[in-house]
């Protein structure tokens, strides 16, 4: 780092390359590596901004759902008609179904995850039935 600092300022890209080539201790691959790191850093920064925006939007949707205000129609209170009437979805499964629907409406991906045996498969089937 000290060697690079002694070579500054770099007036142009060509000047930077020329100064790096003049130093035995420095390699042009160092410049390429720094450039790649900066590109990755910018990509991550853009993704983080997008994730924050999505998180804020989802927060608003969930808040409206909890308060019963506009958007509350996304809260599913009964199972889809296509499902077997003899087997009623549990309340927590209806919440999972509502969550799947919200994710679908927001065009987001998600993972329905809970303890084994609580009915993720039937929730997924109910979601598909809800779409029909």
| pLDDT of amino acid 60 | 86
Q: Which residue has the tokens 């690079």?
A: 4
pLDDT digits (tens, 9 = 90+) for 56-81: 988 888 787 777 665 556 678 889 99
Same domain for 54 and 118, yes or no, is: no
* Cα–Cα distance list, 102 to 21, 73, 110 (Å): 57, 10, 10
Please tell me the total count of domains within the chain.
2
54 and 114 co-located in one domain: no
85 and 57 in one domain? no
Same structural domain for residues 106 and 54?
no
Q: State the Cα–Cα distance between residues 48 and 55, nearest whole angstrom.
A: 10
Last residue of a domain, one of 69, 97, 114: 69
Same domain, 2 and 58: yes
Tell me the per-residue pLDDT of 5-47, one tens digit each, with 9 for 90 and over: 999 999 999 999 999 999 888 988 998 899 999 999 999 999 9
Q: Does 23 share its domain with 62?
A: yes
Answer with the one of 15, 48, 69 that is the final residue of a domain: 69
Does 88 share its domain with 130?
A: yes
**Residues 99 and 59 both lie in one domain:** no
Say if residue 53 is in the same domain as residue 88. no
Residue 70: per-residue pLDDT: 55
Range of the domain at 53: 1-69
Cα separation, 59 vs 52, whole angstroms: 10
Mean pLDDT of 86-110: 90
**53 and 5 co-located in one domain:** yes
């Amino acid at each position: 780092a000290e060697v690079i600092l002694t070579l500054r300022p770099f007036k142009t890209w060509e000047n930077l390359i020329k100064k790096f080539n003049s130093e035995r201790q420095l390699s042009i691959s160092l410049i390429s590596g720094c450039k790649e790191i900066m590109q990755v850093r910018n990509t991550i920064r853009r993704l983080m901004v997008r994730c924050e925006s999505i998180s804020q939007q989802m927060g608003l949707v969930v808040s409206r759902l909890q308060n019963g205000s506009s958007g509350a129609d996304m809260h599913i209170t009964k199972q889809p008609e296509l499902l077997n009437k003899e087997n009623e979805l549990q309340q927590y499964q209806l919440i999972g179904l509502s969550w799947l629907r919200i994710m679908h409406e927001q065009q987001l991906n998600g993972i329905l995850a809970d303890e084994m045996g609580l009915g993720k498969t039937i929730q997924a089937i109910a979601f598909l039935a809800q779409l029909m």
